[in-house]
Structure 1
């Protein structure tokens, strides 16, 4: 009789533990934020992109003009090379190679500077977005928010909420210090 009572008590205890664990599992809230969408759709990201375009547009135009000039000089050389003296042809060829090397160096420097500034701007957008994600998580009682996942159920995606909150905060956030060139 004593062992039956112990088994009943043990079964009831296990049932209560299972019910408590189930109730706790129902309260667990997870969410997901798609950072790529934030970088494409948030006003702060769009403002950062516009800022970069403005900052680098002049250098990009200069590079395009330099490339066009170099191509025109190369085409002219190809047309005139058969009628040139050997020494003149060699000198023009060396000059074109040097100009092309200079152009490639300038293009590489431009790309490095652009990538560096882009990373700086995206980092600022990400920092602002992470603050907003934390605010949404705290206000809506999320236990965890993921940014990278192989698969995510769309009902867990809170990216729209984050973008709306980020856009609402954007006017105050975009009045920071201007970036240096």
Structure 2
């Protein structure tokens, strides 16, 4: 359902509007934003469950979800290199923390019932479908944001080096 909603938003945003050109790069920004949106939504959905285990986990899930949603909005509305780099750093950090939680376990909250569902690969959290969706979105988002930032960085640097910065930026 989440993927269908993201596809509808992307299709509506890319639909031609008479007399108005589609901004360049909008499709790529919407695609990247959809990865952050999907991961952020999963974190917000799982925040109450994790809050029940530990307030620190609940705040972490809530904060991660809100940051990912804010970055999704920023990347569509006003894309900047810092927003792309922030998404890369946040997603990589969340994946690393999750890998530690799966293989070793976090010293927070109750121990999960490993028979309740998910795939157990280590001493920590089982891998649930929701976690797999979030992590796939975060990995894809980190790679995508990094690629977009690397493509934009040389152009941004050229504008900064230009003797006529305002003129070059306006062109």
- Which bracket does the TM-score occupy, shorter chain normalised? 0.3 to 0.5
TM-score, length of structure 1 as denominator length: 0.31
- By relative contact order (CA 8 Å, sep 6+), the higher-ranking structure is 1
CA radius of gyration, larger in:
1
Per residue, is there more helix in 1 or in 2? Answer: 1
TM-score, length of structure 2 as denominator length: 0.32
